[in-house]
């Protein structure tokens, strides 16, 4: 290769002579390119390649410039130049020669020339002008190939300004006898339409002619144009719908020549194009859509699943069906089709299936539910593209309940993915979803305590936005949506600052949401003004937002009304704002100039010298006003006048304040110090000692950094409430499907279960209310579920708050049974009708109630002994075990002997008789397990009659009673779950009922839910009796408190994390040698506390609620008593604990 240059220089004459010998000439030229390629192949480094190509290029350059180079040689050179360009080396010197070649060469050379031109140049390249004449000439040529080449190059790139020059010629070609020419002409015109739509406006009729061309190829080409034009203006082409439908019908019906078949599918690409056009035409247009139902159905039917390309058609079909005005029958078929896609083992189809789901899911969320398990699988698919598509799908179904899980998944994916594009895209989405949601939480929780710069920077972020405008728009839209819905809810609870943020955002961006009338927003905002708690600062924010928004007559009247109402406000700022609002609402122009839209990020010019007031000031001065004096000057004058200094008073207060606030948020040690400083204490020295002592152990850890890890998993506790597709119409079917999901009878494999859990957390909140839960409660991973903050709607309230298990595993049968029982209509026939289901039922009940194994065992154990269940008892009408009639002590022991073996060893409370009626006695006790508190209810048949009668006789009175004075939100809706428990609890005198297990996490929740749960379970008897029985709430701590084992260091961080303080002095026990240790031991034993550490005269103790919030206690021996200081995230907890401490010590 090194001799190329030399060779070309010396061999020019011989090259010329070679021209006369075509064969060898071809060979030599080929080998030149071949040499080049081979040379490149042999190279090892990029650097060498560069050198070689540069050499090659200079050789080419030399040759193309030489006047002796023939056109044919030029052609060969041009191919080499193209090759070099492809590798990324510029050969700009050859551009002009390429044009020359296209101009002057024979057809073959022209072809190379055109090719080189179209590869080298772009639409705006100046050399292109030189080509216009050539193109003109070739368009008029009689040689078909020349015309084709010209049309090709025109459609590839043509200077916009030059289009008029050739347009008539191209138009002329639409009537050319050769179809290939017509086809290319149509595409060339399409290209013109894209570049300069105005210039081809006059030939729309000719497009129609092309559409009706007898050659299907030309017609196909014209569809490109129509697709584009219809996309831009669907209204303008509705009249063509019938034509498109006819065409598609013919194509689908196989009316085209066989030539157009591809793998025996008639013209698939044409079909795809037509389907796209139809979907554009039928969108939001019922009458147009009706025209195409038939043909869509036909295509769906005809597309047999045999080849890739039929799937392409099906996919388009499905998309069309979901785009146009819906028709139930078609939708059903399309949904089935999507199912086929999603479930297909072919990964390309799976991808498209997910895409289709993503498209469809906004209209029909249930479809996603049907495929939730597949979706979950796709989430873990090895192919990142599939994964990403799945996330996209999840993104569409995000709602308030699953946002956390989805964002978590997205972040997980982000961690894996290194691809920039994906990252940018996803980050945007995460931000959109998560950011606003989180900030909402931050605002509503942080409330008014927050530093003002947090909302400020949030707003700045929102207004400045990120890099892409589309993302910004989305983010703002999302914010607007979420705020509007917040305001529609109960804005009264929101903190002032949050309200300010909301009103700013709405004022600024609510116009982004189409369909949101400004008047609606205004009314929402006006509501804020009328609220009692709204501060005047917030009010002025609100008014400002309103002045940005008011537009249209509605708003003017509203503004009038407001100005009347608030115009008399005492607050001058408010009054001013109201006035502004009124003026601006009346004068749109003024408003536009004062408050331009989207101007938030434009810098405001602030004239700090207030120079614009100069005129006013000088006028006022000349009118005799006193000149302005700065405050300090005034102060001085005042001081001189009165000769009295107020300064000393100013200082003293802040000092004491600061010491207090310092102490407030510090560790107990520091408090001891500062309280010492404040001067009340008598034994300063002692305290100093204790301080230093303490510092040894704790100082480093009780720093400033907060430690929250302990808290989080606790708060995010279990919740499953998943509508599922398993709500099958047949009862038996429902039972079966659920049956298979209940862990007990056929334990689902672990990964499967995880998937289901994931599914439940992802698809929560989708679909209709009536659906039944898919998920079985599984103990192992309760944290995966989310507890909904508020009950939602009718069905959920109850089930959520009771341990999740109830609804979750309950089968339709179960529900049905229970409901019937509750309705108290007939139990027997139902029971008779389902005897074979009974064992399963009781099993299920067992699982539902007893999340702990003990419970299952319990039932299993009792089963053989006693008569198995109520239902069995009913159907067989056998008497149940004799009743225990003695009302007093013996009964207790009697009953306690009925405690299941697993629970027998555990400490249980006294068995309290709850209530009794003629026939039934109820008693209860609670049993403390390590991880749960079980409430065992003894239900006793005290009459001689059998249970059936009792069931029939008692229940009617109790239906509809389940109301608890405090637990309104829990009442009414809760039912089936608990009632489902009861039948199983009727083993004569048997025990049953579990209450609080691991999912109970917060004390106050326990506070309000426990009693009402109980009540409901007790709804068989009257309400008043129960209320009296369950005033246990204050005792709750005794049942629910568990030691919290933390190290001293963890204790330190926890301590700093909590702010609720309670302080009190307790009596100190003096019987032991070390009063502190003795006292703490007593407390530890009685109240299940954990003594973390005892240092000198101070001790730290920790406990928590069962699976719930911690409470920390710090004790110090001080002047014969024990000064305790408690902290906990739950306000009531310290008080409660204190109360029990006092009692424990008294009792001791």
Site for another protein in 272-301 (CB under 8 A): 272, 276
How many CB atoms sit inside 10 A of residue 648's CB? 7
Q: Is 173 in the site for another protein (CB under 8 A)?
A: no
Q: Which of 315, 1037, 1055, 1125 binds another protein (CB under 8 A)?
A: 315
Residues with Cβ < 8 Å from 114, sequence gap 6 or more? 102, 149, 150, 152, 153
**Residue 101 or residue 1130: which is nearer to another protein going by CB?**
101
Q: Give the integer Cα–Cα distance in Å for 1061 and 1071.
A: 30
Q: Is 433 in the site for another protein (CB under 8 A)?
A: no
Q: How far is the CB of 371 from another protein (least distance, A)?
A: 17
Q: How far is CA 277 from CA 23, 236, 292, in A?
A: 53, 13, 11
Q: How far is CA 954 from CA 12, 751, 796, in A?
A: 117, 46, 27
Residues 218, 223, 228, CA angle at the centre, nearest 5°?
140
Q: Map the footprint of another protein across residues 794-853, applying CB under 8 A.
A: none
Q: Is 964 in the site for another protein (CB under 8 A)?
A: no
Q: Give the integer Cα–Cα distance in Å for 490 and 26.
A: 85
CB 134 within 8 A of CB 102: yes
Q: Is 1139 in the site for another protein (CB under 8 A)?
A: no
**Residue 223 or residue 1103: which is nearer to another protein going by CB?**
223
Q: Which of 2, 3, 23, 328 binds another protein (CB under 8 A)?
A: 23
Backbone angles phi, psi at 121, to 5 degrees: -100, 165
Q: Which of 3, 126, 239, 259 binds another protein (CB under 8 A)?
A: 259
Q: Which stretch binds another protein (CB under 8 A): 21-29, 60-68, 768-776, 827-835?
A: 21-29
Return the structure tokens found at 426. 């996803």
**Residue 33 or residue 963: which is nearer to another protein going by CB?**
33
Residue 733's H or E segment, with its range, is: helix 731-741
Q: Is 124 in the site for another protein (CB under 8 A)?
A: yes
**Residue 268 or residue 782: which is nearer to another protein going by CB?**
268
Q: Map the footprint of another protein across residues 31-50, applying CB under 8 A.
A: 31, 33-34, 37-38, 40-41
Q: Is 388 in the site for another protein (CB under 8 A)?
A: yes
**Residue 269 or residue 707: which is nearer to another protein going by CB?**
269
How many CB atoms sit inside 10 A of residue 578's CB? 26
Backbone angles phi, psi at 772, to 5 degrees: -105, 160
Q: Which of 183, 577, 777, 806 binds another protein (CB under 8 A)?
A: 183
Q: Give the integer Cα–Cα distance in Å for 371 and 365.
A: 11
Q: Give the integer Cα–Cα distance in Å for 472 and 762.
A: 26
Q: How far is the CB of 377 from another protein (least distance, A)?
A: 15
Q: How far is the CB of 430 from another protein (least distance, A)?
A: 15
In DSSP notation, 504-558 reads HHHHHHGGGSTT--HHHHHHHHHHHHH-TT--HHHHHHHHHHHHHH--HHHHHHH
**Residue 1 or residue 1094: which is nearer to another protein going by CB?**
1
Q: Is 188 in the site for another protein (CB under 8 A)?
A: yes
Q: How far is the CB of 183 from another protein (least distance, A)?
A: 7
Q: Is 115 in the site for another protein (CB under 8 A)?
A: yes
Q: Is 27 in the site for another protein (CB under 8 A)?
A: yes
How many CB atoms sit inside 10 A of residue 220's CB? 22
Q: Give the integer Cα–Cα distance in Å for 1095 and 1089.
A: 17
Q: Give the integer Cα–Cα distance in Å for 805 and 54.
A: 75
Q: Which stretch binds another protein (CB under 8 A): 121-129, 454-462, 881-889, 1117-1125?
A: 121-129
In DSSP notation, 456-485 reads HHHHHHHHH--S-HHHHHHHHHHHHHHHHH
Q: How far is the CB of 90 from another protein (least distance, A)?
A: 6
Helix, strand, coil percentages, rounded to 5, for the chain: 65, 5, 30
CB 772 within 8 A of CB 812: yes
**Residue 31 or residue 1142: which is nearer to another protein going by CB?**
31
Q: Is 302 in the site for another protein (CB under 8 A)?
A: no
**Residue 86 or residue 655: which is nearer to another protein going by CB?**
86
Q: Give the integer Cα–Cα distance in Å for 219 and 257.
A: 14
**Residue 421 or residue 649: which is nearer to another protein going by CB?**
421
Q: Which stretch binds another protein (CB under 8 A): 344-352, 555-563, 777-785, 1001-1009?
A: 344-352
Q: Is 244 in the site for another protein (CB under 8 A)?
A: no
Q: Which of 9, 11, 16, 22 binds another protein (CB under 8 A)?
A: 22
Q: How far is the CB of 130 from another protein (least distance, A)?
A: 18
Q: How far is the CB of 386 from another protein (least distance, A)?
A: 6
Q: Map the footprint of another protein across residues 149-168, applying CB under 8 A.
A: 152, 155-157
Q: Which stretch binds another protein (CB under 8 A): 381-389, 573-581, 932-940, 1036-1044?
A: 381-389
Q: Is 193 in the site for another protein (CB under 8 A)?
A: no
How many CB atoms sit inside 10 A of residue 142's CB? 6
Q: Is 122 in the site for another protein (CB under 8 A)?
A: yes
Q: Is 86 in the site for another protein (CB under 8 A)?
A: yes
Q: Map the footprint of another protein across residues 59-78, applying CB under 8 A.
A: 72
Q: Map the footprint of another protein across residues 196-225, applying CB under 8 A.
A: 217, 221, 224
CB 394 within 8 A of CB 762: yes
How many residues contact another protein, by CB under 8 A?
Answer: 78
Q: Which of 1, 136, 162, 424 binds another protein (CB under 8 A)?
A: 424
Q: Which of 97, 110, 173, 350 binds another protein (CB under 8 A)?
A: 350
How many CB atoms sit inside 10 A of residue 564's CB? 11
Q: Which of 96, 145, 826, 904 binds another protein (CB under 8 A)?
A: 145
Q: Which stretch binds another protein (CB under 8 A): 178-186, 690-698, 762-770, 973-981?
A: 178-186
Q: How far is the CB of 77 from another protein (least distance, A)?
A: 12
Q: How far is the CB of 481 from another protein (least distance, A)?
A: 21
Residue in 510, 479, 483 with CA at minimum distance from that of residue 494: 483
Q: Which of 32, 69, 74, 85 binds another protein (CB under 8 A)?
A: 85
Q: How many residues does the chain have?
A: 1148
CA dihedral 969, 973, 974, 980 (to 10 degrees): 180
**Residue 112 or residue 407: which is nearer to another protein going by CB?**
112
Q: Is 348 in the site for another protein (CB under 8 A)?
A: yes
Residue whose entry in the numeric block shows the structure tokens 């009708």: 833
**Residue 217 or residue 745: which is nearer to another protein going by CB?**
217
Q: Which stretch binds another protein (CB under 8 A): 176-184, 196-204, 1097-1105, 1112-1120?
A: 176-184
Q: Which of 79, 196, 459, 830 binds another protein (CB under 8 A)?
A: 79
Q: Which of 95, 190, 458, 987 binds another protein (CB under 8 A)?
A: 190
Q: Map the footprint of another protein across residues 984-1003, applying CB under 8 A.
A: none
First and final CA of the chain: distance in angstroms?
Answer: 105
Return the structure tokens found at 660. 């207090």
Return the structure tokens found at 190. 């399409």
Q: Is 269 in the site for another protein (CB under 8 A)?
A: yes
Q: Is 88 in the site for another protein (CB under 8 A)?
A: yes
CB 1144 within 8 A of CB 1087: yes
Residues with Cβ < 8 Å from 1029, sequence gap 6 or more? 912, 914, 915, 924
Report the Cα 19 to chain-centroid distance in Å. 72
Q: Is 200 left (phi over 0), alpha (psi -120 to 50) or beta?
A: alpha
What does the DSSP 8-state code read for residue 701?
T
């Amino acid at each position: 290769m090194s001799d190329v240059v030399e060779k070309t220089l010396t061999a020019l004459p011989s090259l010329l002579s070679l021209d006369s010998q075509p064969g060898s000439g071809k060979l030599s030229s080929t080998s030149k390119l071949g040499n080049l390629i081979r040379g490149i192949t042999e190279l090892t480094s990029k650097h060498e390649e560069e050198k070689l190509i540069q050499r090659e290029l200079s050789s080419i350059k030399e040759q193309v410039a030489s006047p002796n180079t023939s056109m044919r040689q030029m052609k060969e050179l041009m191919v080499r130049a193209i090759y070099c360009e492809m590798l990324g080396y510029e050969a700009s010197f050859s551009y002009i020669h390429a044009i020359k070649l296209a101009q002057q060469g024979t057809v073959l050379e022209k072809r190379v020339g055109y090719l080189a031109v179209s590869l080298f140049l772009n639409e705006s390249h100046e050399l292109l002008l030189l080509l216009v004449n050539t193109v003109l000439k070739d368009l008029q040529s009689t040689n078909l190939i020349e015309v084709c080449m010209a049309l090709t190059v025109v459609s590839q790139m043509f200077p916009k300004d030059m289009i008029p020059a050739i347009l008539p010629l191209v138009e002329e070609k639409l009537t050319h006898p050769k179809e290939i020419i017509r086809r290319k002409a149509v595409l060339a015109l399409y290209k013109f339409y894209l570049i300069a739509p105005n210039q081809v406006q006059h030939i729309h009729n000719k497009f129609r002619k092309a559409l009706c061309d007898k050659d299907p190829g030309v017609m196909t080409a014209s569809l490109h144009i129509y697709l584009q034009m219809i996309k831009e203006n669907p209204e303008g082409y509705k009249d063509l719908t019938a034509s498109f439908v006819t065409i598609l019908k013919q194509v689908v019906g196989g009316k085209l020549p066989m030539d157009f078949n591809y793998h025996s599918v008639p013209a698939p690409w044409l079909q795809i194009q037509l389907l796209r056009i139809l979907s554009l035409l039928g969108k939001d247009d019922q009458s147009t859509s009706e025209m195409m139902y038939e043909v869509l159905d036909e295509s769906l039917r005809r597309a047999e699943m045999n080849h890739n390309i039929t799937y392409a058609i099906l996919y388009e079909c499905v998309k069309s069906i979901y785009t146009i005005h819906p028709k139930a029958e078609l939708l059903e078929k399309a949904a089935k089709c999507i199912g086929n896609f999603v479930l297909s083992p072919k990964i390309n189809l799976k991808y498209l299936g997910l895409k289709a789901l993503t498209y469809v899911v906004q209209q029909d969320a249930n479809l996603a539910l049907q495929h939730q398990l597949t979706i979950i699988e796709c989430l873990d698919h090895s192919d990142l593209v599939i994964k990403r598509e799945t996330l996209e799908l999840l993104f569409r179904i995000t709602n308030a309940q699953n946002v956390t899980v989805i964002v978590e998944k997205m972040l997980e994916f982000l961690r894996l993915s290194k691809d920039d594009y994906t990252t940018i895209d996803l980050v945007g989405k995460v931000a959109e979803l998560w950011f606003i949601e989180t900030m909402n939480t931050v605002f509503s929780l942080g409330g008014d305590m927050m530093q003002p710069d947090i909302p400020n920077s949030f707003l700045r972020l929102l207004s400045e936005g990120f890099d892409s405008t589309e993302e910004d728009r989305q983010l703002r839209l999302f914010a607007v949506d979420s705020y509007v819905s917040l305001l529609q809810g109960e804005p009264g609870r929101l903190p002032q600052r949050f309200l300010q943020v909301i009103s700013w955002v709405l004022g600024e961006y609510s116009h982004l949401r189409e369909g949101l009338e400004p008047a609606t927003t205004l009314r929402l905002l006006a509501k804020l003004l009328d609220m009692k708690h709204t501060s005047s600062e917030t009010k002025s924010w609100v008014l400002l937002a309103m002045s940005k928004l008011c537009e249209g007559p509605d708003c003017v009247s509203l503004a009038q009304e407001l100005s009347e109402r608030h115009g008399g406000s005492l607050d001058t700022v408010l009054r001013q704002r109201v006035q502004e609002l009124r003026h601006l609402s009346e004068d749109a122009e003024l408003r536009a100039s004062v408050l331009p839209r989207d101007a938030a990020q434009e810098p405001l010019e602030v004239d700090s010298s207030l120079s614009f007031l100069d005129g006013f000031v000088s006028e006022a001065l000349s009118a005799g006003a006193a000149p302005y004096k700065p405050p300090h000057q005034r102060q001085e004058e005042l001081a001189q006048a009165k000769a009295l200094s107020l300064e000393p008073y100013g200082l003293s207060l802040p000092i004491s304040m600061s010491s207090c606030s310092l102490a407030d948020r510090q560790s107990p040690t520091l408090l001891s110090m500062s309280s010492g400083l404040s001067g009340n204490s008598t034994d300063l020295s002692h305290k100093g000692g204790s301080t230093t002592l303490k510092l040894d152990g704790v100082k480093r850890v009780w720093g400033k950094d907060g430690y929250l890890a302990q808290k989080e998993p606790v708060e995010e506790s279990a919740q499953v409430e998943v509508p599922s597709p398993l709500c099958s119409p047949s009862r038996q079917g429902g039972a079966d499907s659920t049956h298979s999901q209940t862990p007990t009878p056929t334990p689902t494999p672990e990964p499967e279960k995880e998937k289901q859990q994931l599914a439940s957390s992802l698809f929560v909140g989708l679909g209709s209310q009536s659906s039944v839960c898919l998920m079985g409660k599984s103990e192992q991973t309760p944290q995966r579920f989310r507890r909904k903050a508020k009950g939602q709607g009718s069905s959920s309230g109850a089930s959520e708050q009771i341990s999740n298990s109830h609804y979750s595993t309950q089968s339709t049968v179960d529900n049905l049974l229970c409901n019937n029982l509750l309705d108290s209509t007939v139990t027997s026939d139902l029971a008779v009708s389902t005897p074979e289901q009974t064992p399963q039922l009781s099993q299920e009940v067992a699982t539902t109630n007893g999340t702990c194994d003990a419970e299952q065992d319990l039932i299993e154990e009792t089963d053989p002994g006693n008569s198995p269940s109520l239902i069995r008892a009913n159907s067989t009408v056998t008497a149940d075990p004799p009743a225990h009639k003695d009302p007093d002590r013996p009964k207790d022991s009697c009953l306690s002997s009925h405690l299941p073996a697993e629970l027998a060893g555990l400490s249980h409370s006294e068995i309290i008789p709850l209530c009794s009626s003629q026939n039934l006695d109820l008693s209860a006790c609670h049993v403390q397990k390590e991880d749960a508190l079980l409430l065992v209810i003894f239900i006793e048949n005290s009459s001689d009659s059998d249970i059936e009668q009792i069931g029939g006789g008692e229940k009617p009175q109790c239906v509809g009673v389940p109301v608890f004075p405090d637990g309104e939100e829990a009442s009414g809706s809760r039912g089936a779950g608990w009632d489902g428990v009861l039948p199983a609890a009727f083993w004569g005198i048997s025990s049953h009922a579990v209450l609080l297990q691991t999912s109970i996490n917060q004390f106050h929740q326990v506070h309000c839910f426990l009693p009402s749960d109980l009540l409901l379970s007790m709804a068989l008897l009257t309400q008043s009796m129960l209320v009296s029985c369950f005033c246990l709430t204050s005792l709750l701590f005794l049942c629910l408190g568990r030691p919290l084992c933390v190290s001293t260091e963890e204790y330190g961080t926890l301590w700093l994390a909590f702010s609720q303080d309670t302080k009190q002095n307790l009596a100190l026990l003096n019987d032991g040698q070390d009063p502190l240790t003795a006292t703490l031991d007593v407390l530890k034993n009685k109240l299940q506390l954990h003594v973390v550490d005892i240092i000198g005269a101070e001790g730290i103790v920790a406990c928590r609620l069962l699976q719930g919030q911690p409470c920390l206690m710090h004790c110090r021996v001080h002047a014969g008593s024990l000064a305790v200081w408690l902290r906990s995230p739950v306000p009531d907890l310290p008080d409660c604990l204190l109360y029990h401490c006092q009692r424990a010590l008294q009792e001791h």
